[in-house]
Structures are given as C-alpha cells and as structure tokens.
Amino acid sequence: MASTIPAAQAASQPSFTKLEPSSSFYDRITTWASEHKAAVYTIAGITLVATGAGIYYYTSESAPTPQDLEAAAEKKKARKENKKAKKTAQKEQKSPQSETKPAGMYR
C-alpha cells in the first residue's frame, strides 16, 4: 500500500529536518546570505539610501537667524499680551455682576 523508498535513494535525498549541531550562527547567516544574494543587496541598498537621506536631512537644517529669533520673540510677546488682555476683559465682565448683591441680604 504505502510505497517505501529504497535505502540508496533515501540516502541521496536531502533531509531538511536534519540540522548540523556544529554549525554556528555565523555559518548559518553566511549560508543564507550566499543563497539569497538579491535580498542581501536590496536590503543593503535600501539601508544606504535611507542613511544618506537621514544625513542630508540632518545637515541641511539651518540654524535660525537673528531675525528669526527676534520675530519669534515678538510673536510670543504679542500672544502673551493678547492673553493678558483677554483675561482682564473676562475679570471686568465678572466683577460688575458680583458687586451687585441681592436685595434683603447682608444687612
């Protein structure tokens, strides 16, 4: 019923489940890399391009000029003044309401 493989043929067929106990991690990596050269070259190329793009981006950013720093300081100051004016306007709106007391209380 089940066909058996003769011993001569069984010895010549590769066994994918058998691992060599003496193979080191480095040996396995180099074997894989030699069998998959296209993947290794693709990964290396992508890594180089990404690294180059990162270096270009990092070095191309210029330091802020004194004019930029002054403009940022003025903008911050204006924002702070607007916030302060808004806060005082809210206090003025609340204060007339709190000064009027209901009649008949606190004699």
Residue-wise pLDDT for 26-71, tens only, equals 999 999 999 999 999 999 999 999 999 999 998 887 777 788 888 8
Query: CA triplet 85, 91, 92: central angle to 5 degrees?
Result: 90
Looking at the predicted structure, is the pLDDT value of residue 96 above 80?
Answer: no
pTM: 0.39
Strand extents, DSSP E, the chain: none
Confidence of residue 76 (pLDDT cuts 50, 70, 90): very high
What kind and span of H or E run contains 28? Answer: helix 25-35
Nearest-angstrom CA–CA distance, 81 and 61: 31
